[in-house]
Chains A and B, each alone.
Chain A
């Protein structure tokens, strides 16, 4: 029995203890699969940039490959971590199913959500919210001055039809009409009755009630409802065919909803569908409910006068009161002709007598009332109001890449609202003008072409504005083209003003690229020569489709863009973007955060990030817990002039093979690329001889365990400085003085995989000084193109997708920063110390070793 007990214990022990080499190999395999996934993600993003022509088949095969890789990654990780996070598989399957639904082009589901806030209703969601609401959603998110509101989705429409069992009845009546048996007016009346008498499903009314009762709509007393249908090219073809109902009381919402649904089968709509052969099964109706804005005046802005597009004018029509009659053309209005060229002078004014206006009635609905005498002949808009309208109008045009018809309203207190925007059809007028576009560009010198990567397609022209410092950003003029060396996320600050972006370095999948795509600013990154060849004030035209930068403003090229339907509006393009939304965005950013869990993963990128992080920390934790005595042979001490006890764990090729059997590792044995950069940073700063002031150890310990993650709070790790290395990877946890630094970096050949993240948390001294120190560190990091978050004394920063040289220079800078901050607290007596030390650090970096020295230090691959 004694023997069996022994064997039993032995077996239990060996189950936990994978041989170390196998353990590391599994880890390495996880890293490799992770890389392949990131590469594929980057590839898919590239294809969505416009440089490529892809088709549905590409999306399908890329997604299947992605699914396969993520599945494999999870399986490997489960084995590695002993199924500690087995929920990951469920999360993966859920996301995979969502992606599958997108690709298979399933018809509109009848599943929730039945309502969506206007802020969540961008063009990607057009199949759920319809064309009009999708545009409103984009306007709301990008430009802001759109009334608050929500949309009852196409799913609600489907559910309503199902539950009321009217689908067959509608089909048969429609069929009779299409075959000529039933006249349009009868068929339409009958179908509309079916809708108006229908019962709205409880699941839908519940969601509606719930959304209206939210705080943000608490003060909305009147609603305006607009139809928003889907179908082929719904944005233009259904314009004006369905119903809008204004000034609805909250208890009138359900009735208004049914009425608008019914308008899907108005006579004209039924006739239109018969004529164009549109498949009844593909149409559905969503309804947008927006806060009713009682206007003083409203009207329509055409960003390009439809009759003479060559003249380059905008036309504004305006009347007192509500704009509905203006849109339908029933009422005569003031007309203003404004130049498209800044400063947008008003070229012509045609003011008429306006005896009546449409206003909201107190009991709901609208009514016509007389306009006060004094206002009848007064112009509806002042010059200032015209200017305030023109600017967003042109920006909206730029965003949708086509001239717009924009409905607007001004309230009595002077606030401007945009109520709708739709593409203007001016093809005929322009086509002749831009007949041979290649001729138009011939006279303009090409400054450079086919350099770098296109992050966002489009055509832009304007003056160059070089951005070198933060001060430059603050001076950025409206309508200029931003030209800079790096692609820093800081440029987001001028996203509303820049008409184009060109940089020397940067990745088309990095943060700035994402901003460019969100705001649809034509952007070319990583050209290498932009700051060299483009000078401040130079007027250029950038064609970020063919990737050519011309000297001078080529008006015809800009107009040409209007005559082309942007491929971003195509079905396949939107599908790729919807699918990418489930793959690429990263929501899990901070491993120290409470929501760093499998359940919080929304995308494949979240899953890979989670696995990567857990695999690394598991490595440290399991490693030292279970291998006990073997730790001494695994975590080797680093021989260095820096007075810290730093242990090294090599995963694979982080350390020279020959050195692995030694008791200690010298710096020259280190092969890990980021580690070498980090060490060179610390060393080049120089080290103080003085030690930090002694502190109450117990207090320090308690602060440590309170704030740090469980793995690292284990007594085993207190005072243990650890670097886990592989050739391209380093995970360094360092306690210097009483500051805790965690540096994680991956630096390899593929720019898209590169990242460095830096966590700093300080101890000791009073709150105010700690805050100052954190502010200083944050400032330094931001200056070096990091994305920084900080709260009190905790700083979290990361930089990603820079090329190897730049990345290493940042890692090295972190090395210096870590050394620099070691003694800082004592000196942070006042806020101006922040500026003083900021400048001091800047000087230090400038005087530091050049990039070439870093490359020199890297051993040959």
Chain B
């Protein structure tokens, strides 16, 4: 098996296609990935476990992505959060960064882009 422990990632997005596309891409890069399509379930999960990196959409039914982001940062300040969204605006971007998001990606984005962003977040975690 592995020598070093795998970094853990949680992905929250209400669209199937995003989860199905991201999970294998990240696993192939050596990360352990859990996916959720309902914010309540994701929320319950982060109460149980701290993840190294969280990737979340903003606009979903139920829990607002922004609220989720705040909760995550409260519970586990070390966790790096990456926001992905199809409704990217200057305001939401600014607000996310103010709330401590690591990076903000607008959909559609290339797989390579998100991998790069995750790796940067990974590096930041390793250095701290």
Chain A residues in contact with chain B, CB under 8 A? 47, 50-58, 435-439, 441, 450, 543, 545-546, 560, 564-567, 569-573
Contacts and interface: CB of A to CB of B under 8 A. Distances in A.
Contacts of B110: 51-53
Contacts, number: 88
A58 B15 CA distance: 12
Contact of A51 (B15, B29, B111): B111
B89 to A, nearest CB: 12
Given A570-B16, A571-B17, A58 B108 contact: yes
A569 B108 CA distance: 18
Closest 8 CB pairs of A and B: A57-B86, A438-B30, A54-B108, A567-B20, A570-B17, A570-B16, A572-B17, A567-B21
A54 B16 CA distance: 11
B112 interface: yes
- Kindly state the interface size class of chain B when it binds its partner: 20 to 34
Given A51-B110, A52-B111, A543-B28, A436 B1 contact: yes
A436 B6 contact: yes
27 contacts: A52-B108, A52-B110, A52-B111, A53-B17, A53-B18, A53-B22, A53-B84, A53-B107, A53-B109, A53-B114, A54-B107, A56-B86, A58-B86, A438-B27, A439-B30, A450-B112, A545-B111, A564-B20, A565-B20, A567-B16, A567-B20, A570-B20, A571-B15, A571-B17, A572-B15, A572-B16, A573-B17
Nearest to B87: A57
B115 to A, nearest CB: 8
B17 A54 contact: yes
Nearest to A439: B2
Contacts of A54: 17, 86, 107-108
Given A51-B111, A439-B2, A567-B16, 20 more contacts: A47-B108, A50-B21, A51-B110, A53-B17, A54-B86, A55-B86, A56-B86, A57-B87, A435-B1, A436-B6, A436-B32, A437-B28, A438-B27, A438-B28, A450-B112, A545-B24, A546-B111, A564-B24, A566-B20, A572-B16
Interface of B: 1-2, 6, 13, 15-18, 20-25, 27-30, 32, 84, 86-87, 107-112, 114
Contacts of B25: 545-546
Nearest to B59: A57
B108 A55 contact: yes
A402 to B, nearest CB: 13
Given A436-B30, A564-B24, A52 B2 contact: no
Nearest to A457: B21
B17 A55 contact: yes
Contacts of B22: 53
Nearest to A438: B30
Contacts of B84: 53
Contacts of A439: 1-2, 30
B111 A56 contact: no
A56 B1 CA distance: 38
Contacts of A545: 24-25, 28, 111
A435 B114 CA distance: 22
Contacts of A450: 112
B109 A564 contact: no
A543 B27 CA distance: 13
B15 A56 contact: yes
Nearest to A62: B108
**Most chain-A Cβ atoms within 10 A of its Cβ — which of B1, B13, B17, B109?**
B17
B125 to A, nearest CB: 17
A58 B87 CA distance: 9
B2 A436 contact: yes
A330 to B, nearest CB: 36
A571 B107 contact: no
Contacts of A436: 1-2, 6, 30, 32
Contacts of A57: 86-87, 107
B24 A55 contact: no
A54 B32 CA distance: 22
A56 B85 CA distance: 11
B1 A441 contact: no
Nearest to A56: B15
A382 B84 CA distance: 56
A571 B21 CA distance: 13
Contacts of B86: 54-58
A29 to B, nearest CB: 29
Nearest to B31: A438
B52 to A, nearest CB: 15
Contacts of A47: 108
A52 B13 CA distance: 15
B34 to A, nearest CB: 13
